[in-house]
Structure formats: structure tokens, C-alpha cells
């Protein structure tokens, strides 16, 4: 009866937080004008390979369907959204899309890494300038604030800048430079000595490796980059992006070692962490990937966006003893024979927006009150024959503050005043 490796059921405690996050996400999308949609769960393998080539097969679920077509489950939302945006030639630019849905990856399962998980995702298609990227980052910061994470760290990188710096310090070009940029990406995961060993074996000199590792530790704001590397090394767009973010009072660091997928990102890259819980890994990641629209036949449009892992966010929130502000619960308890009356009253309370729970297990009155306590009801309403004859019920405050008889017709007003 066990589940496949890397899969789990979504328990109510987690699913409630997922719905809370979805709600905040949707609200923020509305504020920013990102239109929600969901790309297909299944894509043809060819489309899934567009981003990183056939090597993606190692990381995804793919199979041949009964009609002999090679297909695969979506591993992110970006590919499907981009395919959609590029196929709709009549849509006015910019196309701002958002999605909140599940994805499948053949990742090695571990803490905060699953084979089936949810992502929230916003993408802007059309502009190639940094204003669209600034909006993506501003969205992300707002979204994390909305769910209650105030202490996020935003890291920015710029692939063009890093590439030029690596070329300058090593005298190398093209694929060799890309290899050393991949080393930068590994700096947080591997010790310096291990990297030196690995890259010496690939034929790089100790001096080249050490120079690149020295670059990798540089972090700071725009001024740090300008003074360390000089005006000419910082692309104009990165400068504008930094200036807009500064004006919006968004804290961020530019980091040389943040490069992410090199086959894919063309300039800016973003990563977001929970500042008080760095071990969780990135809560969100993204960047500018103008290359994908051109693979899908629209070289004239730019693309930038970000995707966040919902389960990681749930873990981060749960570690902060996050609790959802739930609707107060009212428990309606009754003596056998008064079922009709109890169900009518419960319906009325629900129609007024109260969360009302009624016994459906034919329990005794005392067992019903135990249940009311167990589920954390704020108050119980007791329907008893003698009181009900007088059209009254007993309202019992579960925190033992009061127990009063209330006329049925006044009950809703009474609860509104006292709950």
C-alpha cells in the first residue's frame, strides 16, 4: 500500500497552508496585472526538451503513449507558459502570465525536495529591458510579505557580467568560460579544495581556478560592483534594475556566484532565500531567458520570470510556528429526536458565514461536548427539549466564560456580538 518514492499525500494541515498561499498569490497577481492560467500537464517530449536538450530526460517523467507519441509530465510551468505565449501571435505585448500548479521531476528525494510538488510562477513576455525584471522582483518580495515571511534574502546575478569577468581573469573564451561559471554555481555546495581538484582534472590551471573562486565571493550592492570591477564591467541594464529596486526599498545583494542554468538564462538571474532558514535552499528562483521564445519561433520577444516552491514555503512557515487564522468553530449539540431542529439551525449558521459542526455519529450529549472541545470550538449550542419548546437554546462558551439561554431568533446576533 506504499506510495512511489518521492511521493506523499497532502495532509489537511499542509493543504490548508497551500490554499492560504494560493489565495495570497492570486491576490497579488491581480494587483500586478498577471493573468492566471494553467498550462497543460502533459507536453510532447520535444517541447520539454526545448529548454535544456535531451539531457532533461534524466530529470523528468516521460513515456510513450498508447498512440506511440513521446510525451512527458511538465517539470515546471515556465515551458508551458512560454509555449502558450509564443503561439498566441495576436496577443498584445507585454503578455503577463501567472500560474499556481503542480509539477513532476525525477529529482533525488530528500528534505524539501520531492518528485511531485507545487510551484507558483509569474512570467512577462515581450520586453527585453530590466523594467519587467524589476516588476518580477517587486512581485516576489510582496508575495513573501503577504504570507508572513519578512526576512527574505534576494540575490541577483548577471550572466553577461560574470562571463566577461571570468574571461578577463582567465584569458579563456567560450565553453571553457562556461565550465568555470558552472564552478561558481557549485561554490555553496562544495568545499574549495574539492573544486580545485575537480577543475584541475578538467585541465584548468590552479591560478585560473583560484582567480575565478576569488570572483565568486564578491557580493554587495551596485556601488560595491562598480568600485570593485569598474564602470565598464557592470551592464547598463543591471544598473537600471538595481536603481529601481533601491527606489522601491527592496533589499538585495548582487552576487557573482549566482549564475543558475547557463544554457537558459541570458542575463539577470534571481534567487530568494528565507534569511532565518538558509538550509531550506532557495524558496524561489528565476531570471531572464530571452532564448526560449526564440527557440519557440518568436525571437523578437523577451522573457523573464520567477518560480517558487510551495512546499518549501510551507516548511518555512511551519518552522515559524505559523498558524492560520481560522474561522471560529461553533458546535451544535443535540439530544436524539431533535435532529431536524439541529440540522436546520446549523444550516442557518453556515448561511451566515459561521463554521458550524454538527454531530453525525449519534453520540450522547456528553460525547458531543467532548468532541466540541477536541476540535477547538469556541462555543457549543445545546438543543434540548425543554428549552427548545420555549424556542430557546443554551449557548455554552467553551472557555467557560458563560452559559446562557438565548432565543433562537436572536442567536445569530448574539453570536456576532460574542464571537
Positions in the binding site for ligand AMP (CB under 6 A) = 76, 105, 107, 112-114, 117, 119, 282-285, 307-309, 311-312
Q: How far apart are CA 139 and CA 122, in angstroms?
A: 9
CA–CA dist 139, 142 (Å, integer): 5
Instruction: Kindly state the smallest distance separating residue 211's Cβ from ligand AMP, in Å.
Output: 28
Report the first-to-last Cα separation within the chain, whole angstroms: 44
Q: Angle 159-165-170 (CA atoms, 0-180°, nearest 5)?
A: 125
Minimum distance between the CB of residue 170 and ligand AMP, rounded to whole angstroms? 28
CA distance 389 to 4: 58
Q: Which is nearer to ligand AMP, 216 or 309 (CB)?
A: 309
Locate cell 489537511: which residue?
12
* Residue whose CB is less far from ligand AMP, 98 or 282: 282
What span, in angstroms and rounded, lies between the C-alpha atoms of 5 and 3? 6
Judged by CB, which is closer to ligand AMP: 111, or 150?
Answer: 111
List Cβ neighbours of 350 (8 Å cut-off, separation of 6 or more): 356
Which is closer to ligand AMP, CB of 165 or CB of 315?
315
CB of 179 to ligand AMP, least distance (A): 21
Please say which residue, 96 or 105, places its beta carbon nearer to ligand AMP: 105
Tell me which residue of 187, 209, 211 sits closest to 197, measured CA to CA: 209
DSSP-assigned beta bridge partners for residue 358: 332
136's grid cell: 518580477
* Residue with smaller CB distance to ligand AMP, 126 or 308: 308
Cell of 389: 419548546
Q: How far is the CB of 364 from ligand AMP (least distance, A)?
A: 46
Query: Which of residues 113 and 228 has its CB atom nearest to ligand AMP in the complex?
Result: 113
| Smallest distance from ligand AMP to CB 110, Å | 9
Specify whether the CB–CB gap between 86 and 293 falls below 8 A. Answer: yes
Q: Min. distance of Cβ 141 from ligand AMP in angstroms?
A: 15
CB nearer ligand AMP, residue 296 or residue 388:
296
CA 384/CA 396 separation, integer angstroms: 13
CA neighbours within 13 Å on the CB side: how many for 295?
Answer: 18
Nearer to ligand AMP, 74 or 298 (CB): 74
Residues 405/396, Cβ–Cβ less than 8 Å: no
Smallest gap, in angstroms, from Cβ of residue 271 to ligand AMP?
7
Of all residues in the shown chain, the one whose CB is closest to ligand AMP is 309
When the beta carbons of 189 and 401 are compared against ligand AMP, the nearer one is 189
Residue 322 Cα to chain centre, angstroms: 16
How far apart are CB 113 and ligand AMP at their closest, in Å?
A: 4
Q: How near is the Cβ of 300 to ligand AMP at its closest, in Å?
A: 25
Taking CA 137 as the corner, what is the angle to CA 133 and CA 139, rounded to the nearest 5 degrees? 115
Phi, psi of 53 (to 5 degrees): 80, -175
For the CB of residue 261, give the shortest distance to ligand AMP in the complex, in Å.
8
Asked if residue 261 lies in contact with residue 290, where contact means CB atoms within 8 angstroms, the answer is no
Strand order, beta sheet including 62-64: 42-44, 70-73, 62-64
Residues 49, 45: Cα–Cα separation, whole Å = 6
d(Cα 161, Cα 286) in Å, to the nearest integer?
A: 17
Q: Which is nearer to ligand AMP, 315 or 342 (CB)?
A: 315
Least separation in angstroms between CB 283 and ligand AMP: 5
Amino acid at each position: 500500500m506504499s506510495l512511489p518514492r518521492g511521493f506523499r499525500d497532502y495532509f489537511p494541515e499542509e493543504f490548508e497552508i497551500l490554499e492560504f498561499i494560493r489565495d495570497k498569490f492570486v491576490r497579488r497577481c491581480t494587483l500586478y496585472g498577471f493573468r492566471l492560467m494553467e498550462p497543460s500537464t502533459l507536453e510532447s517530449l520535444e517541447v520539454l526538451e526545448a529548454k535544456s536538450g535531451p539531457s532533461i530526460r534524466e530529470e523528468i517523467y516521460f513515456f510513450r503513449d498508447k498512440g506511440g507519441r513521446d510525451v512527458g509530465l511538465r517539470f515546471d510551468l515556465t515551458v508551458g507558459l512560454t509555449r502558450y505565449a509564443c503561439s498566441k501571435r495576436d496577443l498584445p505585448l507585454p503578455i503577463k502570465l501567472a500560474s499556481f500548479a503542480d509539477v513532476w521531476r525525477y529529482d533525488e528525494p530528500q528534505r524539501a525536495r520531492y518528485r511531485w510538488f507545487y510551484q507558483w510562477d509569474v512570467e512577462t513576455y515581450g520586453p527585453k529591458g530590466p523594467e519587467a525584471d524589476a516588476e518580477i522582483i517587486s512581485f516576489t518580495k510582496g508575495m513573501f510579505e503577504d504570507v508572513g515571511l519578512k526576512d527574505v534574502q534576494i540575490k541577483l546575478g548577471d550572466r553577461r557580467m560574470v562571463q566577461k569577468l571570468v574571461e578577463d581573469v582567465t584569458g579563456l573564451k567560450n565553453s571553457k568560460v562556461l565550465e568555470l561559471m558552472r564552478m561558481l554555481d557549485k561554490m555553496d555546495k562544495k568545499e574549495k579544495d574539492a573544486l580545485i581538484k575537480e577543475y584541475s582534472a578538467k585541465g584548468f590551471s590552479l591560478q585560473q581556478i583560484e582567480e575565478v573562486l576569488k570572483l565568486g565571493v564578491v557580493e554587495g550592492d551596485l556601488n560595491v560592483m562598480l568600485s570593485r570591477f569598474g564602470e565598464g564591467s557592470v551592464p547598463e541594464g543591471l544598473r537600471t534594475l538595481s536603481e529601481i529596486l533601491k527606489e522601491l526599498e527592496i533589499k538585495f545583494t548582487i552576487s557573482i556566484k549566482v549564475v543558475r542554468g547557463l544554457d537558459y538564462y541570458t542575463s539577470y538571474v534571481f534567487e530568494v532565500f528565507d534569511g532565518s532558514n538558509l538550509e531550506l535552499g532557495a524558496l524561489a528562483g528565476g531570471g531572464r531567458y530571452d532564448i526560449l521564445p526564440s527557440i519557440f519561433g518568436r525571437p523578437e520577444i523577451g522573457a523573464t520570470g520567477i518560480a517558487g516552491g510551495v512546499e518549501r514555503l510551507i516548511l518555512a512557515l511551519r518552522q515559524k510556528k505559523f498558524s492560520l487564522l481560522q474561522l471560529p468553530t461553533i458546535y451544535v449539540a443535540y439530544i436524539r429526536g431533535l435532529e431536524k431542529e439541529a440540522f436546520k439551525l446549523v444550516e442557518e449558521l453556515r448561511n451566515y458565514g459561521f463554521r458550524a459542526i454538527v454531530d453525525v455519529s449519534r453520540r450522547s450529549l456528553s460525547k458531543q461536548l467532548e468532541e466540541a472541545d477536541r476540535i477547538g470550538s469556541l462555543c457549543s449550542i445545546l438543543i434540548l427539549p425543554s428549552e427548545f419548546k420555549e424556542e430557546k437554546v443554551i449557548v455554552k462558551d467553551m472557555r467557560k466564560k458563560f452559559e446562557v439561554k438565548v432565543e433562537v431568533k436572536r442567536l445569530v446576533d448574539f453570536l456576532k456580538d460574542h464571537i
